[in-house]
Structure 1
Amino acid sequence: MKKSFVFLFISLFLFSLCDTACGQEDTKKKKSESKTAETAKKPAAKSVSKYDKLFDKKGHIATTGGFMTLHLVDGKLYFELPLKYMGREMLLASTASESSNPMLCTNGYKAHTPRHIKFTLEDSTVYMRSVNAALDCRVNGERGKLLKEKNFIEPMLEAYEVAAWNKDRSAVVFNVTSLFTGSDADLSPVNDGIGKLTVKASPQKAGIKLDEIKAFEDNVMVSTWYAYRVSVSQGRTPVVTDAPLTVKALRSLLLLPEDRMRPRYSDARLGVFLTDKQSIEEEGSQMRKYSLANRWRLEPQDPKAYKRGKLVEPVKPIVWYVDDAFPESWKKPIKKAVLRWNQAFEKIGFKNVMQVRDFPKDDPSFDPDNLKYSCIRYIPSTVQNAMGPSWVDPKTGEIITASVIVYNDIVKLIAQWRFTQTAQVDPRVRAQVMPDDVMDESITYVIAHEIGHTLGLMHNMGASSAFPVDSLRSANFTKKYGTTPSIMDYARFNYVAQPGDKGVKLTPPDLGVYDEFVIKWLYTYFPDLKNADEENKVLEKWVDEKAGDPLYRFRKQQMLARLDPSAIEEDLGDDPVKAADYGIKNLKYILKNMNNWITDDPDGSYRKSLYNTLVSQYARYLQNVIYNVGGIYLTDVKDGTPGERVQPVDREVQRASLKWVLKQINDCDWLNNKEVTKHFGPDMAMSARVQNMAIMALFKAGQNVVLASHISNNSYSLEEYCNDLYDGVWESAIANRKVTQGDKIMQKNMLAMMKSLIKPSSNNLLGSLLGGISNEVGSPSWDEVELYGLYDAVTEKESIEEMSSLGMTEQEKINEVLNSFGFGYGYGWQRPVKTDIIDETLTNYCAIGVKLRTLLMGKAMNATDQSSKQHYQAMLFMLMQMMDGIKL
């Protein structure tokens, strides 16, 4: 009974708990239903994506094209890059579009070679990688894959965290502000140097600001303002420190084509710019170095008509845009220079390849600083220069874009050239202002030369040596050929033509036979050939057929060493001595008449500039002849075809050249025409400067004599060279005549050089003295150098055109020097050859010292005139001081 009661009590208790719980649950349910009903009446909270959080802000700017979208917000720049472009190759380049100093920063010019890059996406990070384009792995299968993956991966340059995905997840967004506001040296718009001056530009963070963004079908552009502090130095000597510079830099990112152009292998017997490559071959083969010719992609719109020999339009013409900042009178000759090259393309079946237009006024997509457009740009600077750099697809050598940079005072240089080289036969140039027809034909020549660079042609400094000197006085010959077989030479104008020569052409040809041949080799389209190897067999045969013909000979510019007297700048004809004799006659005639021809020059400043150019022209004639002494002709020759790779200049030509220069040193007082120079103010006589230059250049030639005599079967020996120098320098003492200014300069310099050899010091005098006069295109004018505080640092003028046209960084210049030199390889520059092991210069000068001591002892005591006697006494004192303690 008791147990039954307890059980009943527990049952009732549990039932009550259950009822309470059920009641509470019902209450909760009702409340929940009530809340749900209330919630249903209110709108749901909106989910905000990362993409919207980034860009749904006031001040957000976006621009989109067919390539990608750019976003600028809160001072930050974002790429919205579609996934389909991940892994695609691109070029990234930096160009100055505005600057506060045109000498340090050239608008429209890419101071550094564009970066070859691509973006890859891995997990939540986008990597910017440098494309490994120099390697061509020709190993197939698993081994080839292994080689690439383990040894030639593409290095990472930057890493960017993915900030968001777009709405359909077809593109990623990442912050690239640092790429466009950073201080990467290879993206700097500032020039690395000015002639021999080194420029170091340090960006100031406070002055960096993103500006405009643009997006187009296959490229995007971002402009950034930079404030720099710039220091300029020559060697270790500071010239300018912390000068302010403001630049608006425009950076372009251009998508490279997926359908790559068929490459064309180089041939070192033709002067074309190159893209160097190396390949890993199949098993058992060595790694191979080779080069691709740089050229535009030129394909016919109608291949069948092209094959039938019809003139056809190209699929993609080469279009040039002319800066609207040019003086109006310049535009016509500039356009004529561009179109001139069509005559070469028409000979290989293409018409209207070269096209030229003004800067468009009504095209919002056009921007002259865009990597996509090729422009001819005007630079308001007193620099006397023009240059034609181009930039290529590193995989194939396809030229993607190019520029021609023209500095304002190129016209000043043209006027000086025309006067000093042709005034003897052309009355039109005997004035301070060149007439329009002269200026037009000269501008056309200069721009056509630069356009040649942009088509892939290097300088051919040996072209003009193909013509006999006397042929340049022939009206019939010069009308047909001009002054040179190639406008890519530095032949300039006809300084050989004499007063009275009638109808002689004074300018280079419109295009030379060599130029047209190189265009044929570069751009002929082969519809029936399957690949580059098949094309190469045909092209190589074309060059073989021209081997031995001087009209088609290529001799490269000598940048690091001067060995070949036929491959130098500013020369004409095959005989430097004969050409110089004609040129000097003309300079004497011009100088004699300068005051009569130039009359509107009250302060004499224009005549002084012409006079300085005339003196430099004379000095160049001497230097051209000096290159014969120890000269070695260098020609790229394929085995089995005519020609010699290395051929020393004939010994009698070397000897005659040395004696000719020694004679000129004592016969150049005509330079000191007081009727002309009296207008210039006090200065040292130019004859003394030229004499000093010439004798030191002759001493320097001894280094080449060592090499030339070493490799020659009938050499002009170093001993003969030294004896001829001794006889010429000390001829006044040997012949017992009165010493001249030229004698004194030669003799003092010889003793100074001997001292540097016998008792070398840390500051080697020979090294400091052995420098010629350089007056190349491209140097800043003295006025501009002085304007920027650089006058004292610049000791000689120097061309910047060659390296600039290559678009090289300093490391690339070094790499270029290290390239192989030979058939089918990168051209490189001719390097100096070390000859110290076989060099007997010191021995020969010690022997000269012994002879000279005996000679001077007699002359110092017995000279007939007091001036000569005192001079010889001083020379003897210097010699004895030098030889003190040395047993001879």
Structure 2
Amino acid sequence: MKKSIVFLLVSLLLFSFCEVTSGAGQSKNEKEKKKGKVEAVSTKKTPDKPKAKPVSKYDKLFKTKGHVATKGGFMTLHKVDDKLYMEIPLKYMGREMLLGSTASESSNPMFCTNGFKTNTPRHIKFTFEKDTTVYMRSVNAALDLQVDKERGELLKQRNFIDPMLKAYKVEAFNKDRSAVVINVTSLFTGNESDLSPVNEGGGQITISASPLKEGTKLDEIKAFEDNVMVSTWYAYNVTVKRGRSTLVSNAPLSVKATRSLLLLPEKRMRPRYPDFRLGIFQTGKHCITEAEDQLLNYSLVNRWRLEPKDPEAYKKGKLVEPVKPIVWYVDDAFPESWKEPIKKAVLRWNQAFEKIGFKNVMQVHDFPKNDPNFDPDNLKYSCIRYIPSNTQNAMGPSWVDPVTGEIMTASVIIYNDIVKLINHWRFVQTAQVDPRVRAKKMPKDVMDESITYVVAHEIGHTLGLMHNMGASSTYPVDSLRSASFTRKYGTTPSIMDYARFNYVAQPGDKGVKLTPPDLGPYDEFAIKWLYTYFPGAKNSKEEFKILEGWVDEKVGDPIYRFRKQQVALRIDPSALEEDLGDDPMKAGEYGIKNLKYIMNHLNEWIKDDPEATHRRALYQNIANQYARYLMNVVYNVGGIYLTDVKDGTSGKRVEPVSREKQQASLKWVLKQLNDCDWLDNKEVTEKFGLDVATSARLQNMAVMALFNASRNVVLSSHISKNPYTLQAYFDDLYNGVWESAISNREVTQADKIMQNGMLAFMKQLLKPSPGLAGLLGGITSEAGTPSLDEMKLYGLDEMMVVESEQESAYDEEDCEILNSFGLGYGYGWQRPVNTSLIDETVANCCGIGLKLRTLLMSRAMDAPDQASKQHYQAMLFMLMQMTEGIKI
């Protein structure tokens, strides 16, 4: 065979050589003769040349030098200079997709968080009509029509069509007409708010970003098996405001935004209905059904699709691997020392999955170095991302299929200064008992176990678990000092609580565990409820009946109790962040002893700090920790325990804190306010520079919290059989605040602050305001509304920016409607309650004003010292001025 090929090649070469040299020896005349002969022949008429085929629209678009294309299993993207085209296969018309945006690179991580999905993605589909137009439509996934098919189609066509978002002219068909090409440049270079990569702020902070047209430029395009990505550079001017105050004005920001279009599965996961007695994130639904006489609102839980590879082995109780494990990738930008504790946090959850028959569900890897298919911006990869920012936080958001609640992808975002927060937590909460943390920098073993705890908490969110702020209140306070108890149970039944480290443990306690558990019994039960596979169940309704029975069995056992996080309303003292144990007064006593011990050793333990920067930060954390101990007890005053209870099972939905506990709590806080001078330790604070005494600020904050508790007392006494009445509350408050005048002793700083505070509260209460509210006084009559101080102390302001669990909340009316499956409806987030019709605060304050006038007139004359006389004279003057315009 090889010889034949060689012979053929030689023959061809010889033939070519002869053809080239055949005229080499001809004279010029001979050449001319030959040329003339050719010309003579050419005068004859030649046949017409065949016409060239017309260039297709497709080729005109893409046969240019500036054309770049990328093709995946889903669709093809084309970039031509500054234009972007999608080549969408007709088979995907009508298929549902998610379109969302993240930041991949930015010039300022305070405004943009790389890897964070700032907004809920659009749920869309493309439709093709009349061979000329492609429409992008929003999918009406919240609607569930549980009626017969013909009527359902009629209702949808007339009332619930998928609204059009954009219309695109068909620029071309591909060669076999199996796909259409549309120009989507504006979709990926525009500035639509729900596709913005810039953090919008939240709570007290608002961030607005104005794009610069000249700074917008298409960048990379990528295509994968079931999603495509487009990166665009944006230049912004950013303004940041806190309330009406401008903090940052027109700061420059450059962002590489990555917009992703993800094809949702054609075969959907079987959805699962929620039980409101467990804290699971949800996707809301609206239902029209002939089984009820009303439109219903319900929800589906958010969870990953977890199915066994070997269903038969699973049925037999054997451990099996899932068809699709939950795989995490750890950012290569993390410090190397963080990576191992992060991986431990992910794998920790396998112990819960193994108890329900699955192994190797949670898997974790480093960012691959040499895998061309890996891209952290590919939505198919769930990543744990590092953000070099001084934000002291971490979070775990996810994207779900709005039809079924299936979690499609998730992220864990960890900011650099979470380690600073851990450092402060460990020091102020455990330095009294743990010598390892008595340093400026935490030792590696302490930092590792703390990072693992923080990341495990966030991984819990990505698995679907909400915060359970009631968990830690189930353990007796004194049990937290027991080595045997804490080694078995940790500090809380759930790591989804904000129960940090064991601040109850005293210096002499030996062998006490100081950290939350790896996973608590509540966490493992929630995973069992959420992810157990039911091969025998025909549908979601049958599954729900089984799951409902599991929760029924746990009724009455407090370690399985779920209590919602309180943001808009704070009235349940058993569902607080940053607390431990079942008695906030007892836990506070232990905690305060420890803070005093730590304060007395602060200079001794933290020495390598020439500018006292670290000591000042620790000192501020000591003060904040003390303030939380006080506030944890303040919430008892007017407190109401809120528990979700199914009809027919034990327990009370609403139960006021006992009269005795409310009264004792008020007196406890007042006593603390008269005994907090230890905060002003001169040996510690003299290094910090000029400032007002911390005790003064704390006394003012706490006493104002006690005054504002009157709103809760109104509601609590209204529903109680043996109430702590508003009159009894104000009598106790009056006797505590004005004790110095009643007993005629010298006034202290605490006395002055509390007494000034009470007059300021009364003045604001009686301050006229327009409309009906003016008849009721200037203070809001909504019970449970948190103050700015409370939001800062408990991280509520930051939470609103980040998670918040309120994303799953419904309006008040929606929450009250049951669906036809019993418990499967949305969480009833408790809103502030307007108590104006039953509020007698103004009347009680008027009564205090009359008593106080008599008392002050007396003490203005016979106080034990001149300073006290002057103070009481000033208080009397303020009271008279305040009531001067009031006519009775």
TM-score by structure 2 length? 0.92
Alignment map for 1:215-234 (pairs within 5 Å)? 215-234=223-242
Alignment map for 1:633-644 (pairs within 5 Å)? 633-644=641-652
Q: Does 1:820 align with 2:837?
A: no
Cα distance in 1 for residues equivalent to 2:788 and 2:60:
66
Distance 1:195 1:143, change over 3 A: closer
Cα distance in 2 for residues equivalent to 1:194 and 1:526:
41
Deviation of 1:827 after TM superposition, in Å, equals 1.2
Question: Which residue in 2 is equivalent to 1:72?
Answer: 79
Runs of 4+ in structure 1 over 6 Å off: 762-765
| Residues 733-790 of structure 1, C-alpha deviations (whole Å, 9 max, x = no match) | 001110000000000111111111223358998679954344468xxxxxxxxxxxxx
Q: Secondary structure at the match of 1:222?
A: strand
Distance 1:46 1:546, change over 3 A: same
Q: Secondary structure at the match of 1:772?
A: helix
Q: Does 1:327 align with 2:335?
A: yes
Cα distance in 2 for residues equivalent to 1:819 and 1:408:
39
Cα distance in 2 for residues equivalent to 1:163 and 1:80:
10
Deviation of 1:637 after TM superposition, in Å, equals 0.2
Q: Secondary structure at the match of 1:800?
A: helix
Letter in 1 for 2:481: R
Q: Secondary structure at the match of 2:575?
A: coil
Question: Which residue in 2 is equivalent to 1:17?
Answer: none
Question: Which residue in 2 is equivalent to 1:880?
Answer: 880
Cα distance in 2 for residues equivalent to 1:157 and 1:734:
70
Letter in 2 for 1:352: N
CA contact (8 A) 2:809 2:827 kept: no
Cα distance in 2 for residues equivalent to 1:414 and 1:799:
19
Question: Which residue in 2 is equivalent to 1:92?
Answer: 99
Q: Secondary structure at the match of 1:231?
A: strand
Letter in 2 for 1:820: C
Question: Which residue in 1 is equivalent to 2:413?
Answer: 405
Question: Which residue in 2 is equivalent to 1:737?
Answer: 745
Deviation of 1:285 after TM superposition, in Å, equals 3.6
CA contact (8 A) 1:389 1:807 kept: no
Letter in 1 for 2:880: M
| Residues 473-512 of structure 1, C-alpha deviations (whole Å, 9 max, x = no match) | 0001001100000000001000000011000000000000
| Residues 88-136 of structure 1, C-alpha deviations (whole Å, 9 max, x = no match) | 0001110000111100110100110111110000111000000100011
CA contact (8 A) 1:112 1:807 kept: no
Letter in 2 for 1:505: K
Q: Does 1:772 align with 2:789?
A: yes
Q: Does 1:548 align with 2:556?
A: yes
Cα distance in 2 for residues equivalent to 1:582 and 1:298:
45
Question: Which residue in 2 is equivalent to 1:56?
Answer: 63
Question: Which residue in 2 is equivalent to 1:473?
Answer: 481
Cα distance in 1 for residues equivalent to 2:395 and 2:274:
23
Deviation of 1:363 after TM superposition, in Å, equals 1.6
Corresponding residue to 2:390 among 382, 390, 403: 382
Q: Secondary structure at the match of 2:214?
A: helix
CA contact (8 A) 1:390 1:805 kept: no
Distance 1:688 1:817, change over 3 A: farther
Deviation of 1:206 after TM superposition, in Å, equals 0.9
Q: Secondary structure at the match of 2:789?
A: coil
| Residues 625-661 of structure 1, C-alpha deviations (whole Å, 9 max, x = no match) | 0000000000000011111000000000000000000
Question: Which residue in 2 is equivalent to 1:316?
Answer: 324
Cα distance in 2 for residues equivalent to 1:734 and 1:98:
65
Distance 1:636 1:425, change over 3 A: same
Q: Secondary structure at the match of 1:376?
A: strand
Cα distance in 1 for residues equivalent to 2:91 and 2:432:
66
Letter in 1 for 2:248: V
| Residues 364-412 of structure 1, C-alpha deviations (whole Å, 9 max, x = no match) | 2211122221100000001100000111000000000000000000000
TM-score by structure 1 length? 0.92
Letter in 2 for 1:461: M
Question: Which residue in 2 is equivalent to 1:804?
Answer: 802
Cα distance in 2 for residues equivalent to 1:236 and 1:588:
39
Distance 1:592 1:535, change over 3 A: same
Question: Which residue in 2 is equivalent to 1:444?
Answer: 452
Cα distance in 1 for residues equivalent to 2:548 and 2:283:
18
Deviation of 1:39 after TM superposition, in Å, equals 6.6
Letter in 1 for 2:54: S
Cα distance in 1 for residues equivalent to 2:140 and 2:728:
54
CA contact (8 A) 2:97 2:264 kept: yes
Distance 1:866 1:771, change over 3 A: farther
Q: Secondary structure at the match of 1:127?
A: strand
Q: Secondary structure at the match of 2:249?
A: strand
Q: Secondary structure at the match of 2:235?
A: strand
| Residues 211-236 of structure 1, C-alpha deviations (whole Å, 9 max, x = no match) | 00001110100000001111112233
| Residues 57-116 of structure 1, C-alpha deviations (whole Å, 9 max, x = no match) | 112000001100000003100000000000000011100001111001101001101111
Letter in 2 for 1:63: T
Distance 1:135 1:660, change over 3 A: same
Question: Which residue in 1 is equivalent to 2:846?
Answer: 846
CA contact (8 A) 1:559 1:829 kept: no
Question: Which residue in 2 is equivalent to 1:781?
Answer: none
Distance 1:205 1:171, change over 3 A: same
Cα distance in 1 for residues equivalent to 2:869 and 2:445:
58
Cα distance in 2 for residues equivalent to 1:770 and 1:217:
50
Distance 1:74 1:630, change over 3 A: same
Question: Which residue in 2 is equivalent to 1:868?
Answer: 868
Deviation of 1:851 after TM superposition, in Å, equals 0.2
Distance 1:198 1:828, change over 3 A: farther
Cα distance in 1 for residues equivalent to 2:300 and 2:273:
5
Cα distance in 2 for residues equivalent to 1:640 and 1:265:
20
Distance 1:365 1:398, change over 3 A: same
| Residues 805-863 of structure 1, C-alpha deviations (whole Å, 9 max, x = no match) | 3598xxx6885666415853211432000001110000000000000000000000111
| Residues 229-279 of structure 1, C-alpha deviations (whole Å, 9 max, x = no match) | 111122333332222111000011110000100000001000000001121
Q: Does 1:727 align with 2:735?
A: yes
Question: Which residue in 1 is equivalent to 2:113?
Answer: 106
Distance 1:542 1:608, change over 3 A: same
Corresponding residue to 1:459 among 463, 467, 487: 467
Q: Does 1:306 align with 2:314?
A: yes
Question: Which residue in 2 is equivalent to 1:605?
Answer: 613
Distance 1:275 1:177, change over 3 A: same
Name the count of aligned residue pairs.
Answer: 833
Cα distance in 1 for residues equivalent to 2:95 and 2:360:
32
Deviation of 1:525 after TM superposition, in Å, equals 0.1
Distance 1:652 1:807, change over 3 A: closer
Corresponding residue to 1:395 among 399, 403, 422: 403
Q: Does 1:42 align with 2:49?
A: yes
Cα distance in 1 for residues equivalent to 2:839 and 2:745:
34
Alignment map for 1:215-614 (pairs within 5 Å)? 215-282=223-290, 285-614=293-622
CA contact (8 A) 1:818 1:828 kept: no
CA contact (8 A) 2:202 2:800 kept: no
Distance 1:750 1:74, change over 3 A: same
Distance 1:674 1:284, change over 3 A: closer
| Residues 434-469 of structure 1, C-alpha deviations (whole Å, 9 max, x = no match) | 000000000000000000000000000000001010
Letter in 2 for 1:827: Y
CA contact (8 A) 1:110 1:807 kept: no
Over the residues paired in the alignment, what is the CA RMSD in angstroms?
2.0
Corresponding residue to 1:157 among 143, 151, 165: 165
Cα distance in 1 for residues equivalent to 2:158 and 2:846:
60
Cα distance in 2 for residues equivalent to 1:380 and 1:539:
42
Letter in 1 for 2:835: T
Letter in 2 for 1:800: E
Corresponding residue to 1:201 among 198, 209, 221: 209
Which consecutive residues of structure 2, in runs of 5 or more, have no partner in the other structure? 1-40, 818-822
Distance 1:648 1:233, change over 3 A: same
Deviation of 1:283 after TM superposition, in Å, equals 6.6
Cα distance in 1 for residues equivalent to 2:625 and 2:97:
46
Q: Secondary structure at the match of 2:256?
A: strand
Cα distance in 1 for residues equivalent to 2:847 and 2:429:
43
Q: Does 1:118 align with 2:116?
A: no
